[in-house]
């Protein structure tokens, strides 16, 4: 029997923090992001967390679905109400990626890599992903839902065929069952800390931390944007979270969306 998440215990680990004072826990949901967005639109407070043991319609980025079997992984969404302009909202995704990478490092004993913009990879395979959804109007960011999915105790035999070559889990990597309650507590604490640092010190220190997990920094990369392919050297990220690419001849291009992979040397 897989161990279940213990929301009461998570809450006691977070006593002094701003995030996770309220944890909405479900055995099954369509998507923790969908519910968190609805709760936020109805006035839920900053820091409320939604966690589910399974999702029937887990959402991935770019309209993809997120594989969400019961009792093995982590599916979590946090409601934030940051004092940021809509243009700075992408910073929250990058800050969340740092918090997630820190958490994975703690449980793995080695740093994972961040694949721009916010996939967490180990050994080139995806361990975790982040889907951020915001409510904005022209002037104001009303709220942001940060949704995090982590493959924790998923055995290799349960990986669906279509992601088998591209995905991994903490169990596959370490051969050990991870206590999901402890992982979730650590993740929420790290999110709290990184979010606080963003507020107090601004984005540049967080961008530097993000870049410390960005293995392709300084390397030759290929960026695929639909039919368009651009080659260049990945220099880092700017304050919008865009990837800064130095092209041949020295011109730079800011990449807002696209698939970035290492180019052959």
Point out the residue whose Cβ comes nearest to ligand BTN: 129
The answer to whether 14 and 188 are in contact (CB under 8 A) is: yes
Pick the closest to residue 59 from 37, 80, 81 (CA basis). 37
Please state the closest distance from residue 150 (CB atom) to ligand BTN, in A.
Answer: 8
- In whole angstroms, what is the distance from residue 66 CA to residue 54 CA? 11
* Nearer residue to ligand BTN within complex by CB, 58 or 112: 58
Going by C-alpha positions, the residue among 216, 218, 205 that lies closest to residue 246 is 218
Q: Please, which residue, 79 or 232, has the CB nearer to ligand BTN?
A: 79
Which residues would be at the binding site for ligand BTN (CB under 6 A)? 31-33, 55, 58-61, 64, 66, 75-77, 119, 129-131, 147-149
- Residue whose CB is less far from ligand BTN, 55 or 91: 55
Min CB(126)–ligand BTN separation in Å: 7
SS3 34: helix
Q: How far is the CB of 110 from ligand BTN (least distance, A)?
A: 21
Residue 69: CB minimum distance to ligand BTN, A: 12
Tell me how far apart the alpha carbons of residues 131 and 31 are, in angstroms, rounded to a whole number. Answer: 11
Nearer to ligand BTN, 60 or 86 (CB): 60
Q: In what order do the strands lie in the sheet with 228-237?
A: 252-255, 243-246, 228-237, 220-225, 259-262
């Amino acid at each position: 029997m897989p161990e279940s998440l213990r929301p009461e215990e998570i809450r006691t680990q977070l006593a002094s923090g701003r995030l996770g004072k309220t944890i909405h826990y479900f055995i099954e949901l369509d998507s923790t992001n969908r519910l968190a967005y609805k709760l936020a639109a109805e006035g839920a407070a900053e820091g409320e967390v939604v966690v589910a043991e399974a999702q029937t319609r887990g959402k991935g980025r770019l309209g993809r679905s997120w594989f969400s079997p019961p009792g093995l992984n982590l599916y979590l969404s946090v409601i934030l109400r940051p004092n940021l302009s809509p243009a700075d909202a992408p910073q929250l995704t990058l800050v969340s990626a740092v918090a997630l990478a820190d958490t994975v490092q703690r449980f793995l004993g080695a740093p994972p890599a961040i694949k721009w913009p916010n996939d967490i990879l180990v050994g080139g395979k995806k361990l975790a992903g982040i889907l951020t959804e915001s409510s904005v109007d022209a002037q104001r960011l009303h709220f942001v839902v940060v949704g995090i999915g982590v493959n924790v105790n998923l055995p290799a035999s349960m990986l669906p065929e279509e992601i088998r070559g591209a995905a991994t889990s903490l169990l596959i990597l370490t051969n050990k069952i991870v206590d999901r309650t402890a992982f979730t507590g650590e993740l929420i604490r790290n999110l709290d800390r990184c979010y606080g640092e963003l507020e107090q010190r601004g984005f540049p220190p967080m961008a530097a931390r993000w870049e410390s997990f960005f293995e392709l920094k300084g390397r030759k990369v290929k960026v695929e944007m639909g039919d368009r392919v651009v080659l260049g050297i990945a220099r880092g990220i700017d304050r919008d979270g865009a990837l800064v690419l130095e092209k041949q001849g020295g011109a730079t291009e800011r990449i807002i969306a696209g698939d970035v992979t290492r180019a052959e040397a």
